[in-house]
Amino acid sequence: MSAQFLSRRAFLLGAGSAPLAFAARTPRKPGYNVLFIAVDDLKPYLGCYGNRVAITPNIDRLAAEGMVFTRAYCQQAVCSPSRTSLMTGLRPDTTKVYELQTHFRKTIPNAVTLPEQFKNHGYLTTGFSKIYHGGLDDSRSWSVPWWSPGGPPWGSKENEERARRLDASLAKQDWKIARASSRRGERGPAWSAPDVQDNELADGKTADAAVAALEKLKNDSFFLAAGFLKPHLPFVAPKRYFDLYAKTKFTPADNPFPPKDAPEVALHNFGELRSYSDIPDVGPVPPEKAVELIRAYYAATSFTDAQIGKLLQALDRLGLRKNTVVILWGDHGYHLGDHGLWNKHTNFEEATRSPLIISVPGQKTAGRKTSALTEFVDIYPSLCDICGVPIPPNLEGVSFKPLLENPDRPWKKAAFSQYPRAVKGVGQAMGYSMRTDRYRYTEWRVPGSDFLAVELYDHEKDPQENVNVAKRPENAALVKQLAAQLHAGWKAARP
C-alpha cells in the first residue's frame, strides 16, 4: 500500500483527537460514495408519499432529486429481523433471526454484510447510531468502529475501545443481549415535547457527528450509514416540532377494528405501547389519547426530517452531492390505531410497507415514482450494482437499478414478508404473507400440526385490508392460485 494512500487516512478529527485508525483496504478508482440513512419505525406518512399533513421538507427534497418506491416491503415487521435481512441480503428463513436477541453472526457467521462488501472493495465504511438493532452491532461491517449517541468521539481511541468491549460482551453472551424487561410505569409516558435544542437529543447528536465525519471523509470513498431513532417510541421531539401540528389536524384511525373474519393469530395486543405509563393495560386506546399519539408520531417524524436535512445540506456544502448515492429507508411500517393495532409486529400492509427513496447522481428519472413491487432484501444488490461493487452470488434479492432507468417496466410478481406468532395450545406459527399487484395473501402454519389460517385482502376493492375474503366461495379458485404462488416462493417472483 502506497505511502500516499496511507497518509490520506492519518487525519485528525480535531484538536485533542486521536488519529483515526483504519482497517487495511485496497485503493479503488473514484466512484459513487453512499450515504445510507435508516429511520426507525418510519411509515410512509411523508409529503412525497402524498400525505398532506406531514411536514417533511428535507425528505421531500431528496425524493425530488431521486426516486420514490411507493410499494416497498420489509421482510419482517420488527427491527432486528428487518435490519438483519436488509444488511445481509438474506431473508429471515435464511438468517434465522426472527426476534430481537439473536445476532446473525451466531446463525450465519460467514455472511458478508452490505457495508462489509463495500469495505472489502476499497470503501471506508462507518456507522452512526441504530443501523443494526440496538446492542447488536457488527464490527466486521466497519472500517471505523460504530458510533453511538452519548459515546466517545467518532474515530477516537476511546471509541475503538468501546467497540472492543462490545465485541467481547457479545462473544461472552453467546451473541445474545441481556435485556431487562420493562415493567409498567418504568418507561414513563409514551410521548413528550421538551423545550430543548435538537442536539440535546440522541438524533440531533447523531446528525452532528455524521456531518463532522463527512467533513473528514470528503476526499475518500465512503459508505456512511446514519441511523435515526425517531419516530420510534417514546415519541420524543423538541417542542417546536410539536408546534408545527395543531391537535385539530388529527383524528383517530377510521378503521379501529380488526379486519372482518381475520384469524386471531393475525392480531396482537400491542404490548410495546402498553409498557408506557399513560397507556391502559387492557382495551383500546381512548380516542383522545390516540390523537395525542398520532400527533406525537408526526412531530417525531418532522424532527428526524430536520436531522436528515443537516446531512443533505452538508453534502451540498462539501461538494459531495455530485458523486454520492443517497438512500433512505424505514425499517418497517407502523400501526397508529388502524385495526385497533399499534406498533408493528404484523403481516398487514400498514406494518410491512415502508418508505424507500434513492437518489443517484445524474439520475434521469429524478422526481419520479415507481409502483413496482420492491423488497428490502433488494437494497444490498442494488447499491452494489449502482456503485460498481461486485454482487455476492448468494443474495436473495435482485437489483432494482433497471427501475431507475424505467420506473414503469414490468417487475416482480410479488413481495414476501413473514411474522412468527404463538398459537395458544398449538405452538409457534409462522405467517407467510405475499403482496401481489392486487392482493395480499397470508398463510399461518404451525409445523407438525394441522393448524392453518388464511387471509386474503383485495387491494382494488379494500385498500385498508378491512375484510378477509379468503373463505368466500367465489374466491376458492383465487385462493388456490395464490397459495400455489406463495408456495413457489420468491425465486419464482423474480422479474
- Assign residue 353 a region (left: φ > 0; alpha: ψ between -120 and 50; beta: otherwise): beta
Average pLDDT estimate for 310-328 = 98
3-class SS of residue 2: coil
Compare 194 and 158 and report the one with higher pLDDT.
Answer: 194
Between residues 7 and 432, the one the model is more confident about? 432
Q: What does the pLDDT look like over 235-261, one tens digit per residue?
A: 999 999 999 999 999 999 999 999 999
Phi first, then psi, for residue 327 (nearest 5°) are -130, 135
Cβ atoms of residues 98 and 76 within 8 Å = yes
Q: Is 392 exposed, middle or buried, given 0-12, 13-18 or 19+ CB atoms closer than 10 A? A: middle
> How much helix, strand and coil, in percent to the nearest 5, is found in the chain?
35, 20, 45
Are 279 and 289 a contacting pair, CB within 8 Å?
yes
Q: What is the per-residue pLDDT for 143?
A: 96
Q: How far apart are CA 130 and CA 119, in angstroms?
A: 19
Annotated active-site residue 339? The verdict is no
pLDDT at 172: 75
The pLDDT tens digits of the residues spanning 267-292 come to 999 999 999 999 999 999 999 999 99
Closest CA to 491 of 387, 406, 398, 365: 398
pLDDT at 29: 54
- Locus of grid cell 462473544: 171
Residue with cell 461491517: 141
* Residue 201 scores a pLDDT above 50: yes
State residue 5's pLDDT score.
35
Region 459-482 average pLDDT: 98
Q: For residue 16, is pLDDT > 90?
A: no
Q: Which residue of the set 79, 335, 384, 387 is catalytic?
A: 79
Place of cell 414476501: 416
Q: What is the pLDDT of residue 167?
A: 82
Q: Which of 20-29, 123-132, 196-205, 212-221 has the lowest mean pLDDT?
A: 20-29
pLDDT of amino acid 135: 80
Task: Look up cell 451473541; give the residue.
Answer: 175
Q: Residue 42 corresponds to which cell in the numbers above?
A: 418510519
- Count CB atoms within 10 A of the CB of residue 230: 27
The whole-number pLDDT of residue 185 equals: 46
Query: When comparing pLDDT for 174 and 486, which is higher?
Result: 486
pLDDT in tens, 128-180: 999 999 889 999 999 999 999 988 889 889 888 888 888 888 777 766 654 44
pLDDT at 177: 57
Question: DSSP for 33-102?
Answer: EEEEEEETT--S-SGGGT-SS---HHHHHHHHTSEEETTEE-SSSSHHHHHHHHHHT--HHHH---SSSB
Confidence of residue 184 (pLDDT cuts 50, 70, 90): very low
What mean pLDDT is predicted for residues 57-67? 98
Pick the CATH number of 3-405 from 3.40.720.10, 3.90.25.10, 2.40.50.200, 3.40.50.300: 3.40.720.10
Model confidence pLDDT, tens digit, residues 29-45: 557 999 999 999 999 99
Exactly one of 121, 133, 332, 345 is catalytic; name it: 133
SS3 sequence of 177-235: CCCCCCCCCCCCCCEECCCCCHHHCHHHHHHHHHHHHHHHHCCCCEEEEEEECCCCCCE
For residue 456, what pLDDT is reported? 99
- Count other Cβ atoms within 10 Å, centred on residue 174: 9
Q: Which fold has domain 417-493?
A: Arylsulfatase, C-terminal domain (3.30.1120)
Greater confidence (173 vs 434) lies with 434
Q: What percent of the chain has pLDDT over 90?
A: 86
pLDDT-derived band at 181 (thresholds 50, 70, 90) equals very low
Q: Is 332 a catalytic residue?
A: no
Spatial separation of the C-alpha atoms in residues 456 and 451, rounded to whole Å:
17
Average confidence score pLDDT of the chain? 92
Q: Where are the domains of the chain?
A: 3-405, 417-493
Average pLDDT over residues 461-474: 98
Which DSSP state fits 114?
H
* Gyration radius (Cα) of the chain, Å: 22
Which cell goes with 450?
A: 394441522
